[in-house]
Amino acid sequence: MATSILKPITVSPYSRRDRHIVSDLLFRNYNVHTHLDWQETDKWLETQQGVTRLAWQHGRLMGILATAAPLDNTTWIRIAALADNADAARTFNALWDSVVVELLGSNVQQVAVLLIRDWLIPFVQPRGFAPAEEVVTLRRADLPAPPEEMPANLTIHPTRDGDIPIIARVDQAAFAPPWQLSDVDVREAVRAAAYCTVAVSNERIVGYQASTMYFDGGHLARLAVLPDVQGTGVGSALVNDLLRRFARRGITAVTVNTQLSNTRSQHLYERYGFQRNGYDLPVWMLNL
């Protein structure tokens, strides 16, 4: 390791020609963090407008650090990885120093990271990241479909292509940073969803949900309602309609994530039989 420490670390922006070596780094090494939601790594790297930096020693890739495109002056660390034989702290610091310069130049004021695994803590904590929130998981299983509920003057229908810019605005109005989805993220969520529906009131889209299916269950991946109609039954109607759609496919096990601080959404899900299952993940944040 002493010899490795003497070798200079250089940092460069990601380019398309690096995609295969980046894929190899992410596949073969232990210290890997990917929080990409609905996209594969290659596609995410090609479509995002955030900051992605690679660390090299003597022509060998030692690490990668990538942040999402900023939204409301906030971003997420989406990819972080260090080679098993890297001088880990020095490599991460070189990557972070390069990334943070770009973030400050883009007026980013807050950076968040979902700590799926603990290996990142010794690297982000010295940089000022601290626990700020938890993402909790709730599960509903082996329950019958609920009786239909639909507030007056509200209809629900599958999302159409022309709805996507509108539901992106709904999402960004419904959530505060860093929980909003970008327009690209919304489009990918709709593309990947087994069910994506919108709630319409007086010819206006006021809410939407996007859900995925796996081999024996479903996952409510996103639920957003415009602030001016929250508390009027729109979110409940979307959840009710989704559970009934899942039930018609024979799916009775459904999960959903939300923030620990979002007690309103937890109460909504609990009313439909969802219960916390203990699979919680911390979110750490840094104010630049």
Q: pLDDT tens-digit profile of 268-283?
A: 999 999 999 988 999 9
118 and 157 part of one domain: no
Peptide bond into 178 cis (omega under 30): yes
| 21: three-class secondary structure by DSSP | helix
Q: Are 220 and 255 in contact (CB under 8 A)?
A: yes
* Cα–Cα distance measured from residue 6 to residue 93, given in angstroms and rounded to the nearest whole number: 15
103 and 210 part of one domain: no
In a domain, 286, yes or no: no
Q: Which of 128, 160, 183 is the last residue of a domain?
A: 128
Structure token pair of residue 281? 């993940």
Number of independent structural domains in the chain? 2
Walk along the chain (288 residues) in steps of 10 and give the mean pLDDT of each run.
Answer: 67 94 96 89 85 95 96 96 95 97 95 96 97 96 92 92 94 94 90 94 95 91 95 95 94 94 95 93 96
142 and 122 part of one domain: no
- Count CB-CB contacts under 10 A for residue 201: 18
In a domain, 239, yes or no: yes
How do residues 130-160 score in pLDDT, each as one tens digit? 999 999 999 999 999 999 988 889 999 999 9
241 and 181 part of one domain: yes
In a domain, 192, yes or no: yes
104 and 163 part of one domain: no
Structure token pair of residue 165? 């810019």
Domain hosting 98: range is: 2-128
Which pLDDT does position 37 carry in this prediction?
A: 81
276 and 144 part of one domain: yes
In a domain, 288, yes or no: no
In a domain, 216, yes or no: yes
Q: Which of 72, 103, 128 is the last residue of a domain?
A: 128
Which pLDDT does position 239 carry in this prediction?
A: 97
Structure token pair of residue 250? 């024979």
13 and 150 part of one domain: no
* Cα–Cα distance measured from residue 113 to residue 129, given in angstroms and rounded to the nearest whole number: 9
In a domain, 287, yes or no: no
Which pLDDT does position 2 carry in this prediction?
A: 46
Q: Are 92 and 82 in contact (CB under 8 A)?
A: yes
Alpha-carbon distances of 69 from 64, 260, 261, rounded to whole Å: 16, 25, 25
Environment class of 265 (CB within 10 Å of its CB; exposed 0-12, middle 13-18, buried 19+): buried
7 and 112 part of one domain: yes
Which among 284, 254, 245, 285 has a CA at the least distance from the CA of 272? Answer: 254
Q: Which of 128, 157, 190 is the last residue of a domain?
A: 128
197 and 265 part of one domain: yes
216 and 275 part of one domain: yes
Q: Which amino acid is at 285?
A: M
Tell me, what CATH number does 109's domain have?
A: 3.40.630.30
Global pTM reads 0.90
Residue 71 sits at the vertex; the CA angle it makes with 26 and 177, to the nearest 5 degrees, is: 95
In a domain, 6, yes or no: yes
Which pLDDT does position 6 carry in this prediction?
A: 65
137-167 burial: b if 16+ Cβ within 10 Å, else e: bbbbeeeeebeeeeeeebebeebeeebbebb
120 and 168 part of one domain: no
Q: Are 109 and 78 in contact (CB under 8 A)?
A: no
Q: Are 178 and 76 in contact (CB under 8 A)?
A: yes
In a domain, 148, yes or no: yes
173 and 116 part of one domain: no
Residue with tokens 């060998």: 60
